[in-house]
Amino acid sequence: MGLTKYKLGELISLCETKNDNLKYGIKDVKGISIQKEFIETKANMEGVSLKPYYLVQPDDFVYVAVTSRNGEKITIAHNISDDTYIVSSSYLVFKVKRKDLLLSDYLFIYFNRPEFDRYSRFNSWGSAREIFSWEDMCDIDIKLPDIIIQQKYVDVYRAMLDNQKNYELGLDDLKLVCDVYVENLLRCNYGKLGNYIEKNKKRNVESVFKKSDIKGFNNEGQFIEPMRLFSGDISTFKIVSKDDFVYNSRINSTIKKLSIVINESSDLIVSPAYESFRVINNNELYPFYLYMLLQRESFARKVLFNSFGSSTIVFGFDGLCEIDIPIPNYAQQKNIAYIYRAYKERWNLNEKLKAQIKDICPILIKGSIEEARKAKEA
C-alpha cells in the first residue's frame, strides 16, 4: 500500500500502427478538442490519403504536441468507445503498457485536470510553436496508489460519466424528433428570407454601453466573454437587443453549421465585424424557429453556395437574404421552436454535467493520493 513514484514513460508506450490497408475510411477520421474529447474532423479531407493516418484503438490515448495558441490547455483524448478511430500522423497515439500498475481511466483523470494543463504548457518548448514532446510526456513524475485504490476512484468517475452519457442518449432522441419535424416542413411554402428580416443598424454612438457589455459568441450559439480586451473606441459597436441575431460572416469551406446566436436576454454590444439582423414581424416569422433553421447542417450547405471569396469566404447579409426557407403557419413554427428550445436547454445541461465531471477530476486524484498515504500510515 502507499504511493509509488514512476516516470510516466515506464508505464506507457507509443502506438504507431498506420491505416496502410485503408481498412478505415473518412467516417472514422477524428480530431480532438481542448475539452479533451474526440470530435468530427474540421479538416478538408478532399483528396487526402488516409494511409499515413494512425489507428486509435479502444483504450488508446492521443494528443497534439503543439500547445501554443491553445487556450493554455493540452489537447488530449482517451478512446473509451469500442470503435477504432484514425487520426492525422501529426498526432501522437499511445497506450498504458503496465496495466498492472496504472489504470487507463485513472491516467485520463490525471490528464483531465487544470494542473496537468499548466504543467504541459510550462514544460513546452519552441519559438514559433511550443511543443510538449513525447519525451516530455515520458519524463513526467507520477505518484500512484495501488490498483485497488485507483479502481475505487475510477468507479466514481465512471458512474458520473455513465450518467452523463445516458442523458446524452436522451438528447439524441430529442434531436431526432426535431429533425423529423423539420423534414415534414420541407413540403410547406417557401419564402425569401430577405422578406422577413432587416439589418440591425443600431450603434453604440452615445456610448450608453461600456466595454463590460461587449460579448463574443461560440459555435454552439452562446454569448461568451470576448477573447481579447478592447482598448479603443467602441462607438461603432452594434447594439444587440432581445430576439436580435448575430453571426460571423467569415466562414471556412468545412463548416457544419453557421456560427450564429440569438439574444434572449438584455441588450449587449458586439464587434462591428459581425453581421446582425432581426425579424421584421415576430407574428409572421417566430425568431426562435428561424434560429433553429439557421443552426442546421442543411442550411450550412446553402451558406457555402451563397458565399463569395477565395482565401477568405464571406457570407454577407445580402447572401443571407437570398436564401429560401420553409414558412409553415405560425402555430407550427412555435411548436417546433418549443421542441428545439427543449433540446438546446437539455444540451446546455449536458454540457454542465460534462463540466462537473471535469471539475471532480482533481478531487478524485487528490482523494486517491490521500487515501494511499493514510493506508501506509495505518
How far CA 344 is from CA of 107, 219, 224, 292, 349, in Å, comes to 32, 13, 16, 10, 9
Cα–Cα distances in Å, from 86 out to 33, 101, 373?
A: 15, 28, 40
Identify whether 154 is part of a domain: no
Mean per-residue pLDDT for 188-203? 92
Question: Is residue 171 domain-resident?
Answer: no
Residue 377 within any structural domain of the chain = no
User: Nearest CA to 10 among 123, 143, 116?
Assistant: 143
Indicate whether 230 and 124 sit together in one domain: no
Q: What is the pLDDT of residues 319-365, one digit of tens each?
A: 999 999 999 989 989 988 998 888 888 988 998 998 899 999 999 99
Q: What is the pLDDT of residue 280?
A: 95
Supply the Cα-derived Rg of the chain in whole angstroms: 24
Would you say residue 178 lies in a domain?
no
163 located within any domain: no
Same domain assignment for residues 94 and 217: no
Q: How confident is the model at residue 311 (pLDDT cuts 50, 70, 90)?
A: low
Same domain, 211 and 85: no
**CA–CA distance, 292 with 288 (Å, rounded to integer):** 6
pLDDT higher than threshold 80 for residue 378: no
Q: What does the pLDDT look like over 13-47, one tens digit per residue? A: 999 999 999 999 999 999 998 889 999 887 778 88
pLDDT at 55 exceeding the cut of 70: yes
Q: What is the pLDDT of residue 255?
A: 66
Q: Which helix (H) or strand (E) holds 163?
A: helix 147-185
- Assess if residue 74 is contained within a domain: yes
Q: Are residues 62 and 8 in the same domain?
A: yes
Of 96 and 130, the one with more pLDDT: 96
Q: Look at residue 1 in the predicted model and tell me its pLDDT.
A: 66
Q: Which of 78, 112, 144 is the last residue of a domain?
A: 144
Residue 315 pLDDT greater than 90, yes or no: no
Q: How many domains does the chain have?
A: 2
Range of the domain at 137: 4-144
> Are 196 and 139 part of one and the same domain?
no
Counted residue by residue, the chain has a size of 378
Q: Is the pLDDT of residue 312 over 90?
A: no
Whether residue 202 sits in one domain with residue 134? no
Helix, strand, coil in percent for the chain, rounding step 5: 40, 20, 40
- Dist. CA 5–CA 298, nearest whole Å: 53
Mean pLDDT of 171-194: 84
pLDDT at 310: 67
Percent of the chain past pLDDT 90, that is, above it, reads: 60
The reported pLDDT for the residue numbered 42 is 77
The enclosing domain of 315 has a CATH number of 3.90.220.20
Q: Is 357 a member of any domain?
A: no
Statement to judge: residues 137 and 245 lie in one domain: no
Cα separation of 361 and 154, whole Å?
Answer: 10
Domain-ending residue, one of 75, 109, 144: 144
pTM comes to 0.75
Give the model confidence (pLDDT) of 225-267 as tens digits: 887 777 788 999 999 999 999 998 888 766 667 889 999 999 9
Domain boundary among 327, 346, 370: 327
Q: Is residue 375 part of a domain?
A: no
Residue 85 — very low, low, confident or very high, per pLDDT cuts 50/70/90?
very high
pLDDT for the residue 253: 66
Estimate to the nearest angstrom the gap between the alpha carbon of 331 and the chain centroid: 33
